[in-house]
Structure 1
Amino acid sequence: MPEVKPDLIVEEIRKRFSEKGSEMYVGEAVSQTEHALQAAFAAEQAGETPELVVAALLHDIGHLLHKHDADCATQGIDDLHENIGAQWLVRYFPPAVTEPIRLHVDAKRYRCATDAEYASRLSPASVLSLQLQGGPFDELESAVFEQNPFSQDSLRLRTYDEAAKIPGHETPELEYFLTYVQRVLKQQALETN
């Protein structure tokens, strides 16, 4: 892992939100930034670790990184944002941040396979993306998911993700949650040096 320079990484994250965060979260009545802030706020309110609050904030950063159109799902394209985001973040953040992000789509697929009520509450945009992402897990995929040490964190992240689609919901600003990012990066630097 390269030397972590928290200020530069925070600035790069800030830049990504500044450039594309005002785009609408496809199929929802909130922007990418509003969605991220609501997810992070929900995680914080639930008393999650700083790492999971950061994962909630950055779980869809892949949408801010990929080169597809914002509405690529309606064009039948799975943007693989969970992998793009996790791969970008893994250079700087610990697995407690990157693995729930990488697994948050799998968490949706798992929940849809194991909880019919959850599947029935998905927004139309989430139903469309679920189809592009492979649909609900089968029995074997569910069993493999359950064995992953980050499966429970990713399921909680999924809860915050689903709750983060409320137009006009008040949350702290991005700068507030970037202090969590800064804290996690500094801790990671201490642990790797």
Structure 2
Amino acid sequence: MFAKETNCSTAAAEAIALFVRLGTLHYGEKVSQLDHALQCAHNARLAGEGEAMIAAALLHDIGHLLHHEGEDAATRGIDTRHEITGATWLRERFGPEVSEPVRLHVDAKRYLALRQPGYVGSLSPASLESLALQGGAMDEEEATRFEQDPHHAEALRLRDYDDLGKKDRDDLQSFESYHDMLVRLAREG
């Protein structure tokens, strides 16, 4: 039992340490990665989501903190595929209920660009820039494949929290306040 608890605590501590060390980075948005993560988790919690989705919202952009391309990668025309990097890291530590919505959150943006009128016009300049790098709006074949993925509904909800989490706010819980939740969700090593 102690080994499992230690491994789970380690997974939570690793996530927290990444945000403490690199969370002040911006990646084109007016809010930091840390503020964005906290806002997304807050939005998921307000919507009544379970812990796995709250964790996915909190950690969905962790791939930005794991790659080594810098804050201006999109400006330099580089798609870092942060969703894949992040999902791989999360799957090893928290499992598919957290990692799969993260893996699909970029596809969800591309899907909404096709299916939801006015969606593209609602995106921030940085999100528009990354959408272009990520392939733009899906075509019908891609959209059909996305709709068949068992995690697409969670990815669409995560995308909503992501798109709403780009405001200046100071009324949010600390990242560390999510530690116990992350420990509960962490996989045994």
Match of 1:78 in 2: 79
Is residue 128 of structure 2 the alignment partner of residue 119 of structure 1?
no
SS of 1:183 mapped into structure 2 = helix
Q: Show CA shifts across 1:161-190 (max 9, x none).
A: 0000001242111111222211212xx44x
Moved more, 116-125 or 148-157: 116-125
Over 3 Å off, 4+ runs: none
Give secondary structure in 1 for the equivalent of 2:172.
Answer: coil
1:81-110 superposed Cα distances (whole Å, 9 cap, x missing partner): 000001111112221110000000000000
Alignment match, 1:105 = 106
* Worse-superposed segment, 87-96 or 143-152: 87-96
Q: In the comparison of the two structures, how many residue pairs are matched?
A: 185
Cα separation, 2, equivalents of 1:35 and 1:20: 13
Does the aligned pair in 1 maintain the 2:44–2:54 contact within 8 Å? yes
2 CA distance for matches of 1:77 and 1:18? 25
Matched residue SS, 1:104: helix
CA contact (8 A) 2:102 2:155 kept: yes
Given that 1:40 and 1:177 are in contact with CA atoms closer than 8 Å, whether structure 2 keeps it comes out as no
TM-score by length of 1: 0.92
The alpha-carbon deviation at position 136 of structure 1 amounts to: 0.4
Residue segments in structure 1 that go unaligned for 5+ positions in a row? none
Query: Is this contact kept in 2: 1:38–1:169, CA < 8 A?
Result: no
1:94-133 CA distance string (max 9 Å, x none): 2111000000000000000101211110111100000000
Which stretch has the larger CA shift, 123-132 or 169-178? 169-178
Amino acid at match of 2:159: R
CA distance in 1, matches of 2:165, 2:111: 19
Q: What is the match of residue 17 of structure 2?
A: 15
TM-score, structure 2 as length reference:
0.94
Do residues 148 (structure 1) and 149 (structure 2) align? yes
Equivalent residue for 2:60? Answer: 59
Report the RMSD for the aligned CA atoms in angstroms.
Answer: 1.4
Cross-structure match for 1:172: 173
Gaps spanning 5+ residues in structure 2: where? Answer: none
Give the % identical residues: 45
With 6-15 and 158-167 compared, the bigger mean Cα shift is at: 6-15
